[in-house]
A and B are shown apart, each in its own frame.
Chain A
Amino acid sequence: MTTETGIGTKEPVVRLRGVSKEFPGVLAVDGVDLDILPGEVHVVAGENGAGKSTLMKLLSQVERPSSGTVELAGEPVEYHGPGHAQHLGVAMVYQEFALAPDLSVAENLYLGREPGRFGFVNRGKEMEEAGGLLRRVGLNVGPRRLVAGLTVAEMQRVEIAKALAIDAKVVIMDEPTATLAEREIEDLFGVIKALTDDGIAILYISHRLDEIFRIADRVTVMRDGKVVDTLPISELDEDKLVRLMVGREIGNLYPKPDVDVGDVLLRVSGVKRGEKLKDCSFEVRAGEVLGFAGLVGAGRTELARAVFGADRVDGGAVELEGRKLKIKKPQDAIEAGVGYLTEDRKGEGLALQLGVDQNITLANLPMTRGLISLKEEGRIARKRRDELNIRTPSIRRRVQVLSGGNQQKVVVARWLETEAKVLFFDEPARGIDVGAKAEMFGLIGDLAQEGRGIVLISSYLPELLNMCDRILVMREGEVAGVIGREEFSEERVIALATGTGEAA
């Protein structure tokens, strides 16, 4: 996506020299030098906890660097907080959080900088300019719409429009596609292209290799807080990028073991819930990995939540090992031996203010004589930390300050502790690095090998095609079909998911 002039000839908009950031017990960013050129898409890649997000926060002045200098447009900048960075043209695209839901789109765009004088807002002007900005980011909603009614993708677009409103030179996007559907991702890439054509630099963090190779002009790889290398995308291929990130070869990303699939463990029949779920039935066998495929909104998460008792249902039956279960709330499901890893770990998965240890044992506290055994709790937490390679300076650290991927691993550890017979993994690989992904899928394979039944929900087809024994495809709240491993192909899944072509 570079424009005609060669990259080497431009003046960098951002120049970092020897920038470091230390947290208690962690050198999160360690002496980083980095140049960002106007109009480039600069991807920052690296393992969970490598320091990518922290580096972005140093640039957007959410955090104060411990040492080093940050230059914007050739001028060294002082630390004065996020407002100051915005003023200097650095915008960060947060997901939904930074918008005021009860204000309109236009009001959000100009929050704090309303056009007009003497405390009066010039609404006509505001609406007119907002309309222009929304068109630039390809958003088809009226500036008067309340933000509360927008989808996640639309909110993200408003965030980008906000960046344009402050005339940003650099726009930072930290895992922006994590919560988007395939088609929304395409649209986002279109917008990014338009921005870079206008000379705006994009700093982009992602764990998805396919994405990186599609949009990056240059890639900076971080490891343990340091920059390993910055390379133009043309000098990289997947293997090389992975090696730079994790410092070793990753054998097989999807290590699926050969398991003899046993008897039916879980049988779900006729689950209904309003318009979202229409008469869904499926079964999971011991040792089997069953995939849930479908477009975003097809009802995969809803189906898992319904079985788990997280939402009320209008009807349906669940049997585990031949016994009929009465699941009214998650507690019932867990006691029976069914677990569910949520897709939204911050909102639904973690108690952010509790320690890593306390989060791991939350669903299954080690008790002796009516009291929590703190010793046992520590032992369990350390065991899982080592097993899943959770990077934290201590098991008592609040999960709030862990990096995104390590938070995900903490949730996984909690469910491993429950010894569930059937486990639903909802987008388990979202936000975790390639190394951890391989570990995660290895783990899923191990769990299946132990004879548990696994349901894997994913929007990324290669994960399903590689890991699953069967794939159940959902469309508009219905089970559109189930495909066996010998018939797996991307086309078949897509045909079922979209309702085009011949059915199964």
Chain B
Amino acid sequence: MTEGTANGTTRGNALRDRLSDFVSQIAAAGALIVVFVFLSFASPDFLTADNLFNIGSQTAVVAVIAVGMTLVIITAGIDLSVGSVAALAGVMGALLMSSVGLPMPLAALGGTLVGAACGLTNGLLVSVAGLNPFIATLGMLSVARGIVYIATDAQSVFGLPDSFRLLGQGVVAGGIPIPVVIIIAVAIAGYVVLSRTRLGRYAYAMGSNLEAARLSGIPIRRYLTSVYVISGALAGFGGMIAASRVASGQPNYGIGLELDVIAAAVIGGASLFGGQGTVVGTLIGAFLIALIRNGAVLLNVNTFYQQVIIGVIIWIAVFWDQYRRRKLASASE
């Protein structure tokens, strides 16, 4: 490589380097398109405005929470507590409306803050107490669920104002579902955070090499904690959307939700080893999962098979991630 040729192809190389970051997204997007086209032919009910909007709304919960999960995974962490936290937030938000009588927006904010508080606990356990993220959030998975049952005596919370339905079931002008608008807003915010803020950049750096990040003067504890707070807050907000969709606070909501959320992030190219992941990829992953679930219903496939299919997709996505890593690692050492 002489200087001359290096300069001659600089542009092409920069483009290629940028593209190589998107390989997994391109693969996931390809899968998304294939499933979409397949369902369009396989079921007459698929390609209808109603169904598509329905998918959009259904995806909202997973997509919103998965954006936070992506951030956590980029730092080489994991948040297993999102399902329980979503349930806790949904129930608490519902109680704020039914028992305290708060108006809908304040209650939604309240639920989100409950999630943020859970996230703060996770974050402190990881960054200050030094617990492994897997263990810290596994504990929270159990603690949050326990609190839900204690607070509700395992009974659903009803008696919510009609205005609450807006969040998960409403539409804005032109008939676009509010959940879809929420997905777009959260995605844009997440994208900006990841690509243009300190928090995002430091998340990648910490996930890639924690010691290098520390020696570069990055306040590790603060940023690591923030990442879990964001994940918790988004889980809380997602829980409110879910509660709105069924117009009640459900103590049993979200058991196993973390699987779909983690799967969405991983399918979209987030690496469990840290340092990698994008919002766009995660959204693609979330929609892929939603399409598979929706398609299964339309085609009358037993719901238990959905579980199997999604599990297999996770295997493939993680295998692909590790395969690429191994190639890179062997190349550099």
Interface, chain A (partner B; CB < 8 A): 23-28, 49, 57, 62-63, 94, 97, 224-225, 308, 310, 329-331, 333-335, 340, 342, 347-355, 358, 362-363, 365, 367, 370-372, 374, 391, 393-398, 400-401, 414, 418
Which chain B positions have C-beta within 8 A of A333?
217
Residue pair A351, B208 in contact (C-beta under 8 Å):
yes
Q: Is the CB of A393 within 8 A of B212?
A: no
The answer to whether B18 touches A396, judged by C-beta atoms less than 8 angstroms apart, is: yes
Q: Report B-chain residues with C-beta under 8 Å of the C-beta of A25.
A: 1, 6, 9, 12-13, 16
Of all chain B residues, which has the CB nearest A395?
B14
User: Bound state CA distance, A394 and B5, in angstroms?
Assistant: 12
Q: Is the CB of B204 within 8 A of A363?
A: no
Q: Roughly how many angstroms separate A263 CA and B17 CA in the complex, as a whole number?
A: 47
A29 to chain B, nearest CB (A): 11
Bound complex: CA of A342 vs CA of B217, how far in Å?
Answer: 13
What's the Cα separation between A396 and B219 when bound, in Å? 25
Q: Does B197 contact A (CB under 8 A)?
A: yes
Interchain nearest-CB distance for A97 vs B (Å) = 6
CB pair B208–A353 under 8 Å, yes or no, is: yes
Given contacts A358-B204, A372-B197, A393-B10, contact A351 B213 (CB under 8 A): yes
**In the complex, what distance in Å separates the CA atom of A25 from the CA atom of B209?**
26
Give the contacts of B230-278 with A (CB-CB under 8 A).
275-276
Query: B160: shortest Cβ distance to chain A, in Å?
Result: 37
Pick the contact of A414: B198, B216, B331, B333 (CB < 8 A).
B216
B192 an interface residue at 8 Å Cβ cutoff? yes
Contact B328 A372 (CB under 8 A): no
**Interface residues as binary, B190-228 with A (CB distance below 8 Å gives 1, 0 otherwise):** 001001111001001101110111111111000000000
> Across the interface, do B1 and A330 meet the contact criterion of CB distance under 8 Å?
no
Tell me, yes or no, whether B300 is within 8 Å of chain A by CB. no
| Residues 4-37 of chain B, each 1 if its beta carbon lies under 8 Å from chain A, else 0 | 0010011011101110100000000000000000
Q: In angstroms, how far is the closest chain A Cβ from the Cβ of B67?
A: 18
| Interface residues in chain B, defined as those with a beta carbon under 8 Å from any beta carbon in chain A | 1-2, 6, 9-10, 12-14, 16-18, 20, 192, 195-198, 201, 204-205, 207-209, 211-219, 275-276, 328-333
Chain A residues with CB under 8 A of B201:
358, 362, 365, 372
Closest to A356 in B: B17
A–B complex contacts, Cβ < 8 Å, 13 sampled? A25-B9, A329-B219, A330-B215, A330-B217, A348-B209, A351-B205, A352-B209, A358-B201, A358-B204, A362-B213, A370-B197, A374-B195, A397-B13
20 A-B pairs besides A351-B213, A374-B196 with CB distance below 8 A are A23-B331, A25-B9, A25-B13, A25-B16, A27-B1, A28-B1, A94-B333, A97-B333, A330-B215, A352-B208, A353-B204, A358-B201, A363-B217, A367-B198, A374-B195, A394-B13, A395-B14, A398-B328, A400-B328, A401-B331
Given contacts A351-B275, A394-B17, contact A334 B217 (CB under 8 A): yes
From A396, which residue of chain B is reached at the shortest CB distance? B17
Chain B nearest CB, measured from A358 CB (Å): 7
Main secondary structure of the interface of B (DSSP, over half): helix
How far is B2's CA from A240's CA once the two chains are assembled, in angstroms?
Answer: 21
CA gap between A24 and B327 in the complex, in Å:
14
Rounded to whole angstroms, the CA-CA distance of A27 and B5 in the bound complex is 10
Which of B197, B204, B331 contacts A351, CB < 8 Å? Answer: B204
Q: Smallest Cβ distance from A285 to chain B, in angstroms?
A: 24
Measured CA separation A393–B16 after assembly (Å): 10
What are the residues of chain A within 8 A of B208 when measuring CB–CB? 351-354
Closest to A372 in B: B196
Could you tell me the distance between the alpha carbons of A371 and B197 in the complex, rounded to whole angstroms? Answer: 5
User: Which chain A residues lie closer than 8 Å to B216 at the CB level?
Assistant: 330, 334, 362-363, 414
| A351-B217 contact given A391-B1, A400-B328, CB 8 Å threshold | no
List chain A residues, Cβ under 8 A from B211. 347-348
Q: Is the Cβ of B209 less than 8 Å from the Cβ of A401?
A: no
**Does the CB pair B217–A335 fall under 8 Å?**
yes
Closest 6 CB pairs of A and B: A334-B217, A351-B208, A353-B275, A394-B13, A393-B13, A394-B14
B328 engages A371 (CB within 8 Å): no
- With A331-B218, A372-B201, A393-B9 known to touch, is A63 a contact of B331 (CB < 8 Å)? yes
Residues of chain B lying within 8 A (CB to CB) of residue A342: 215
CB <8 Å contact, A400 and B332: yes
Question: Whose C-beta in chain A lies nearest to the C-beta of B15?
Answer: A394
Contact B192 A371 (CB under 8 A): yes
Q: What distance in Å separates the Cβ of B203 from its nearest Cβ neighbour in chain A? A: 11
Contacts of A23 in B (CB 8 A): 331
CB distance from B15 to the nearest CB of A (A): 8
Tell me which residues across on chain B come within 8 A of A308, comparing CB atoms. 215
Are A355 and B212 in contact (CB-based, < 8 A)? no
